[in-house]
Amino acid sequence: MDLLFQEMKQYLLHFLDLGCSGALDQKWAELFPFLSYTGFDPNLEECKRLASQPHPFKEARYLPYAVHKDKGTYVMHKTESIYCYSLLPPNHPWLDRFSFSDLFTETGAEPVLCTTLDHLAREEGLKADIMKLDTQGLELPILQSGNEILSNAICVETETGFMENYIGETTYAQIDEFMRSKGFLMFDLSIHQVGRKNFLSEHGKHQPIWCESLWLFDFIGQKRKPPREQAIKALTICRALGYPDYGFELAAYFNHLGVLNSDELASLSKAEDWEIQHEMLNGPGGQAKVIEDLTRRLQESEADRAARLAVIRKYEVAMSETTRRLEESEADRAARLEVIGQYDLQLRETVQRVNLSNSVLPKISIITPSFNQGVFIERTIRSVIDQGYPNLEYIIIDGGSTDGTLEVIKRYESHLSYWISEPVKGQAEALNKGFSKATGDVVTWLNSGDTYAEGALWKWAKTGFQYSGADLWMASHHTCIDKDDRIVGVSENAFPNHSQLVQYWRMGGRRIHQPSVFFRRRLLEEAGTMDPRLRYGFDYDFFLRLSRAGRMTMVHGNWVDCRLPHQQGSGNPVEGEPGKFIREWHLSSKRQWGKPWEPRWWRFFISFQFCRPFFSWGQTTSDFISKRQMVFKWLYLWPGYLWSLMNGRGPLPRW
């Protein structure tokens, strides 16, 4: 594949973006070095602005046209969100039933001169290997007006509604029928759902409103023999978008037709042949580094900021609806509680305990311990306050930083409930100070460097209603990010009960990841706070006591982005001292065994002695073995270990 990939450098991939915002989704990133990008915007000034922005493509241009099925003058309906502008009027009777209807509020209208794709093909020499259409209801008429361009396209992506979100909109069902009639196969379908305007909008499943569908041309089904350039482009697209099975099927077909030779087909016969080698883009670190940098800068564009404002606006709409309900009369509120009771008695009892004159959302106390984390602390703070969660108590305990951390904290002082900077003896002591200031119903802590995912606190609030009987909530996984906030992996959280958590030696490297955990403040009174005598395993010791005092539950989803390498707290053992890390875990575990005359003490003792030959005190939790490995290693190692114990020479240090 490398030879074919090198040959691709000779060609241009013509990318047509109708409904552009100046940036493409990252799934197209592998194709950026080959793209001849053409975007459309009816506003000439906006085209000039977009053209002045840096871009990662081989070449780019923006044409000041609106595209429709026929040439002529049409009316552009302007709305509250620029991403909802359309040449079709919004279907308000339908949209007003949903929580995002305010985005479609009309703010004006203006005439727009429109042309067709086929006209642009003749007048502007327009070509398209890839077409992306997000034209708010006009996708099918535009495709029908571009038969000449569509006949040579390899890949098409459309964003269409399942219902008429705009009056006269063509729906996904019509797009599906049209694309199949043109010889395309559907490869991906991303469905977007929206809740309705009522008090249950944050619960359960929602209405599918629109979708993004990806189509690839079926050369085999249509019995088309492409020229070699188009064949290479088709294989490159399959490779970049992650469809190696279809790519190899095409390659075998192209070989049968004589477009590819046998050696080229053989070079595609392994899975690794379909993996992109980034250094091939333009030398080691060359073009790939430029793409990475330019992509990051494009994400800070005006269009991207507008998208973030639209999300904020959505939450503001939800909060205004909540506020309106709270301002209704006592009789109205009583009637609402009665309706809630018909669906869920437990939810009704919960609502009755809420002080309706204040807020129905539980108060969350977030504590951030910090010491000389000036590089990351602002990202952490912004991720908390940008949640827009109204019933929030944010506390920062700084250990006397000298690297500029305090200047950052002072800039956001108005958003903080409490902060202090003074020397502490460790992170455990800093957290205990934060716990003493917390007054929320629910408490958690976020290390300086980690960040919350978008809407994390709102997701937890929804979870709090669904799992109201729990005392400790844990997300099923979290993403791992590097120093530049790029996602480098996903880590699953272990979900042990108290007994399993005590037996850390059997957890196979899995563990509870602290940033993904929320717990009720009353557990601090029952389980106690952090043990400041522990330096490496204080969080494990803390969760041992919490899991014994309260009921744990796991919720599917991700709430937090953890930075790697972890530079705060005991999330990883201090380099060079993993033995001390494991020893503190063991000491904390033994505190939960009970007394030697209790059966549970013997159960934990025997379990530990069974597993003890299989790891050393210098290992980290990621080195622990799986249950299957444990069985085979036990059969091999246990006889020798037993013999050494009988002779007083244990292979591991004694306690």
SS3 552: strand
With a CB cutoff of 8 Å and minimum separation 6, the contacts of 497 are: 547, 552
Q: Give pLDDT tens digits for 316-329.
A: 676 666 666 666 65
Peptide bond into 565 cis (omega under 30): yes
Beta strands in 410-541 (DSSP E): 418-421, 442-445, 451-452, 472-481, 487-492, 517-520
CA distance 27 to 557: 22
pLDDT attached to residue 184: 95
pLDDT attached to residue 492: 74
Q: Mean pLDDT of residues grouped by 10 in the chain (655 residues)? A: 74 86 75 88 78 85 85 87 86 89 87 86 86 88 88 92 90 92 93 86 84 93 92 91 91 90 85 65 47 54 61 67 64 62 47 40 90 87 88 91 89 91 89 91 89 85 68 83 81 68 62 81 87 82 83 81 59 48 74 75 72 52 48 51 47 34
- β-pairing, 106-115 vs 66-67, is parallel
Instruction: Tell me which amino acid residue 462 is.
Output: K
**Tokens 């046998």 map to which residue?**
262
pLDDT attached to residue 577: 56
Tokens encoding 152: 């040579």
pLDDT attached to residue 317: 72
| 621: DSSP letter | G
Tokens encoding 653: 């240090």
What are the start-end ranges of the H helices in 412-475? 427-437, 456-466
List Cα–Cα distances, 586 to 339, 414, 512, 532, 624, in angstroms.
52, 43, 16, 16, 14
Q: Give pLDDT tens digits for 248-266.
A: 999 999 999 998 888 888 8
List the one residue out of 21, 145, 174, 172 whose CA is nearest residue 84.
Answer: 21
With a CB cutoff of 8 Å and minimum separation 6, the contacts of 483 are: 375, 376, 563
Q: Judge whether 87 and 112 are in contact, CB under 8 Å.
A: yes
pLDDT attached to residue 654: 32
- Evaluate if pTM is beyond 0.85: no
Alpha carbon of residue 168 to chain centroid: 34
Beta strands in 11-141 (DSSP E): 13-18, 35-40, 59-63, 66-67, 72-79, 106-115, 130-133
443 CB neighbour count, 10 Å cutoff: 25
pLDDT attached to residue 565: 58
Alpha carbon of residue 503 to chain centroid: 32
The partner residues of 444 in beta bridges, in order of sequence, read: 366
CA distance 396 to 418: 7
List the one residue out of 557, 561, 373, 409 whose CA is nearest residue 485.
Answer: 561
List the one residue out of 65, 64, 66, 32 whose CA is nearest residue 48.
Answer: 64
400 CB neighbour count, 10 Å cutoff: 13
Q: What domains are defined for the chain?
A: 2-61+126-194+213-298 (3.40.50), 328-355 (no CATH), 361-563 (3.90.550.10)
CA distance 370 to 589: 27
